[in-house]
Amino acid sequence: MKKLALFVTLALSLAFGGAVMAEEETDVKSEGVMTYEEYVAADLDSEVVVETYVQAKQSWWEDQATVYTQDKDGAYFLYNMACSEEDYDKLEVGTKIKVTGFKSEWSGEVEIVDATFEIEEGEYIAPVTDVTEFLGKDELIDYQNQFVSFKGLTVEASKDADGNEAAFLYNWDGSGEDGNDLYFNASLNGETYTFTVESYLCDNTTDVYKAVKELEVGDVIDMEGFLYWYEGVNPHITAVKEAE
């Protein structure tokens, strides 16, 4: 019997992300490995080989792992990568891996699928990048899948399928319950954006899940998370706090 392994390894490591910045500006890649620029230029459905660093583990299930990774130039979302449970346990925030897979796009999210990986020597924890100024702009997609922050947004009411207002919803329409994904709205300069606490990435025992459940409409907040995409930007939030 296999069981779902849900591991979230975020808050503390990410909080100190900036402390482990490497000296080099860009990564030096091994023979046969693409630079981030080459990865971006690669066609969809083509084979890609990248060296990247684990930033967060979303889930492991039936020998497949979903992982947020990033190098010094950009981010790579690894969806359902072949991975034993034993190897999954070896992946920590900062671990360097060489990934071979296929570049794919699902509802706007560019990712690497059908991938295999090997662990390499090296460590890098990406610093958080403030993308607040890019909200609502085309440039935002350049930061897809990266560890980013949004600052000074105001929590707006979300409406469930019945029209009831709340500071957050379980699932997109309020049909869920504790433990499901959380959805909430926050605005900046008159524009409202939707943010998600993805329950596989941050379950209901995490600080961010608890913090979002305590939000009230009108709160002004700073957020951190991964710039996921689903039919438009759909950030997976990993930390929320009162705006500084």
Partner 1 sequence: MLFLSALVACACLSGCHGKTGQRSFEIPEEFDTAKQYEITFWAKNDTNKTQTRIYENAIAAFEELYPNITVNMRLYTDYGRIYNDVITNISTDTTPNVCITYPDHIATYLTGGDTVVPLNGLFDDEKYGLGGSEVLFDAPAKEEIIPQFLEECSFGGTYYAIPYMRSTEACYVNKTFVEKLGYELPDVLTWDFVWEVSDAAAKKNADGTFALNGQNVMIPFLYKSTDNMMIQMLKQKDAGYSTPDGEIQIFSDTTEELLYNIADHVKKGAFSTFKISSYPANFLNAGQCVFAVDSTAGATWMGTDAPLIDISADKIVEFETAVLPVPQFDPEHPQMISQGPSVCVFNKADPQEVLASWLFAQYLLTNEVQIAYSETEGYVPVTAKAQQSPEYRDYLARSGEDNAAHYRVKIEAAELLLDHTDDTFVTPVFNGSASLRDAAGQLIEHVTKSVRRKQTVDETYMKDLYADITSLYHLEQGVSQGGGSLAGKADLGPLPPTAVALLAALAAAWALILLYALRRVWKKRRGEK
Among 121, 139, 177, 244, binds partner 1 (CB under 8 A): 177
Residue identified by tokens 């030096």 is 28
By rule CB under 8 A, what string of x and - marks binding of each residue 114-133 to partner 1?
x-------------------
Q: Which amino acid is at 216?
A: E
Q: Classify residue 63 by its DSSP letter.
A: T
Q: Is the Cβ–Cβ distance between 72 and 26 less than 8 Å?
A: yes
CA distance 148 to 146: 6
Minimum separation from the CB atom of position 231 to partner 1 (A): 5
Q: Is the Cβ–Cβ distance between 216 and 194 less than 8 Å?
A: no
Q: Classify residue 5 by its DSSP letter.
A: B
Residue 165 makes contact with partner 1 by CB under 8 A = no
Among 87, 120, 160, 222, binds partner 1 (CB under 8 A): 160
Minimum separation from the CB atom of position 141 to partner 1 (A): 14
HSE-CB for 136 with a 13 A CA cutoff: 10
Minimum separation from the CB atom of position 105 to partner 1 (A): 8
Residue 82 makes contact with partner 1 by CB under 8 A = no
Among 28, 32, 41, 107, binds partner 1 (CB under 8 A): 107
Supply φ then ψ for residue 33, to 5 degrees.
Answer: -105, 140
Interface of this chain with partner 1, residues 7 to 46, rule: CB under 8 A: 45-46
- Please give the residue ranges that form the binding site for partner 1 (CB under 8 A): 1, 3-4, 45-47, 102, 104, 106-107, 114, 160-162, 171-177, 180, 231-232
